[in-house]
């Protein structure tokens, strides 16, 4: 009997050791796919040096790494169009166009029909411990490589590194057609001076074929901050498609126009990244704000989920602890908190809180206090009915403006 106890004790010790080793290698997550419960290993994903952060962890299933599509494509800088009715998604990046459908192995790459292996089929994943939320998950390698990225897998770290060699936001450049940045024989008496009564101008010589001329915006004489309002998506990028087939870009612009008007009434200088239905790249939106030396950047969006269940308003920010550009601006949670509180007070919508999302391009690449408002779920029939009413858009705009004003009065 003693020998039996010793054997059992030794076996239990070995099992605990193996368990500890497995935990050291990474954690697991419980999911449901097509109703089948699974316990799968999570994975780390890094895109062009930025960690993919999401409450819905990437995971490995059947030797395939699956990632939340929205978080991945935002890190890549791609445009995503989700169609709730057909459960399909379209991803566009530069000259690449990929169309996927949930639970279908058929995919179109630049309108060419292709077949994925069944293990890589895009899927709706239910996260058991995340309130049963559903998330659209796609195969990392297939999508990344068809968008022009390289993928490397580190099995020991259980980490996928995705890269296309891209750099951060492009700078404004003036091409001099390979001529010297400064003429060899200036035809002016004082070529390197600026009259004292003129606005400051900074010209940086970047070599023989380009110069940089940052665009400055004078502060209003009333001392009010400069605010950049960014209506999400636009043009070829429709954003989410609601259950009523309406497009996110439409409601984002309608809300932004209301916000602009209310801010101007209070004396703020307002810059819009777009004023009509046009496509503006994410890095360009950030450049507009940075070049204007703005104090506040506020992006307006509406949400979409993998099912009709998710609801509510949330505000996203990029922590200064994750994005070095933000350190001078200070605590990024303050603007997000003020906007969320005011929006909830005006609209009566349920709260999904504020969330740190440093991977989002418009938050990551802007230097100033920045936040992104998600004004409700277009995939939720009840909220879609609310979103498309003028009364709600008026309330949402007032809430955003009140949040900006409160932030200005408390912190600027």
pLDDT tens by residue, 82-135: 888 888 999 998 888 999 999 999 999 988 888 888 888 999 898 987 777 888
Amino acid 74: pLDDT: 84
Q: What is the pLDDT along the chain (412 residues), one digit of tens a residue?
A: 444 444 444 444 444 433 333 333 458 999 999 889 999 999 999 998 888 888 889 999 988 999 999 889 888 888 888 888 888 999 998 888 999 999 999 999 988 888 888 888 999 898 987 777 888 999 999 899 889 898 998 888 889 999 986 544 333 333 434 434 444 444 444 444 444 333 333 444 444 344 333 344 445 556 789 999 999 999 988 888 999 999 999 999 999 999 999 999 999 999 999 999 999 988 899 999 999 999 999 999 999 987 889 999 999 999 999 888 888 888 999 999 999 999 999 999 999 999 999 888 899 999 999 999 999 999 999 999 999 999 999 999 999 999 999 999 999 9
Per-domain boundaries in the chain: 28-163, 226-411
CATH 3.40.630.40 fits 226-411, yes or no: yes
SS (H, E, C) the chain: CHHHHHHHHHHHHHHHHHHHHHHHHCCEEEEEECCEEEEEEECEEEECCEECCCCCCCEEECCEEEEEHHHHHHHHCCEEEEECCCCEEEEEECCEEEEEECCCCEEEECCEEEECCHHHCCEEEEECCCCCCEEEEEEHHHHHHHCCCEEEEECCCCEEEEECCCCCCCCCCEECCCCCCCCCCCCCCCCCCCCCCCCCCCCEECCCCEEECCCCCCCCCCCCCEEEEEECCECCECCCECCCCCEHHHHHHHHHHHHHHHHHHCCCEEEECCCCCCCCCHHHHHHHHHHCCCCEEEEEEEECCCCCCCCCEEEEECCCCCCHHHCCCCCCHHHHHHHHHHHHHHHCCCEEEEEECCCCHHHHCCCCEEEEEEEEECCCHHHHHHHCCHHHHHHHHHHHHHHHHHHHHHHC
CATH 3.30.457.10 fits 28-163, yes or no: yes
Amino acid 292: pLDDT: 95
Amino acid 244: pLDDT: 93
Amino acid 133: pLDDT: 83
């Amino acid at each position: 009997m003693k020998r039996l106890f010793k054997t059992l004790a030794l076996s239990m010790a070995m099992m605990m050791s193996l368990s500890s080793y497995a935990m050291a290698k990474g954690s697991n997550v419980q999911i449901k796919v097509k109703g089948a419960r699974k316990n799968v290993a999570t994975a780390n994903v890094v895109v062009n040096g930025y960690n993919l952060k999401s409450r819905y962890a990437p995971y490995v299933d059947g030797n395939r790494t699956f990632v939340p599509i929205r978080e991945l494509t935002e890190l890549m800088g791609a445009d995503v169009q989700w169609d709730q009715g057909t459960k399909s998604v379209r991803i566009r990046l530069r000259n690449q166009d990929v169309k996927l459908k949930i639970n279908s192995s058929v995919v179109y790459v630049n309108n060419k029909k292709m077949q994925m292996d069944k293990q890589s089929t895009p899927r709706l994943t239910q996260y058991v411990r995340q309130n049963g939320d559903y998330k659209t998950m796609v195969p990392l390698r297939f999508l990344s490589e068809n968008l022009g990225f390289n993928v490397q897998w580190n099995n020991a770290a259980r980490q996928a590194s995705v890269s296309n060699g891209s750099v951060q936001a492009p700078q404004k450049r003036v091409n001099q057609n390979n001529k010297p940045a400064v003429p060899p024989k200036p035809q002016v008496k004082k070529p390197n001076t600026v009259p004292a009564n003129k606005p400051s101008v900074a010209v940086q010589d970047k070599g023989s074929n380009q110069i940089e001329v940052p665009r400055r915006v004078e502060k209003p004489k009333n001392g009010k901050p400069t605010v950049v309002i960014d209506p999400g998506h636009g043009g070829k990028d429709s954003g989410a498609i609601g259950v009523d087939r309406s497009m996110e870009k439409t409601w984002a612009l309608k809300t932004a126009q209301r916000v602009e008007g209310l801010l101007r009434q209070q004396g703020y200088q307002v810059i819009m990244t777009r004023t009509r239905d046009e496509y503006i790249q994410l890095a360009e939106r950030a450049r507009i704000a940075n070049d204007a030396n703005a104090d506040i950047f506020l992006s307006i969006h509406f949400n979409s989920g993998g099912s009709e269940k998710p609801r509510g308003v949330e505000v996203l920010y990029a922590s200064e602890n994750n994005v070095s550009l933000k350190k001078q601006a200070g605590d990024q949670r303050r603007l997000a908190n003020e906007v969320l509180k005011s929006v909830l007070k005006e609209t009566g919508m349920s709260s999904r809180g504020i969330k740190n999302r440093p991977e989002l391009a418009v938050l990551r690449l802007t230097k100033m206090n920045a936040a992104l408002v998600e004004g409700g779920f277009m995939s939720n029939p009840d909220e879609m009915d609310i979103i498309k009413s003028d009364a709600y858009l008026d309330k949402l705009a007032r809430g955003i403006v009140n949040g900006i004003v409160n932030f200005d009065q408390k912190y600027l």
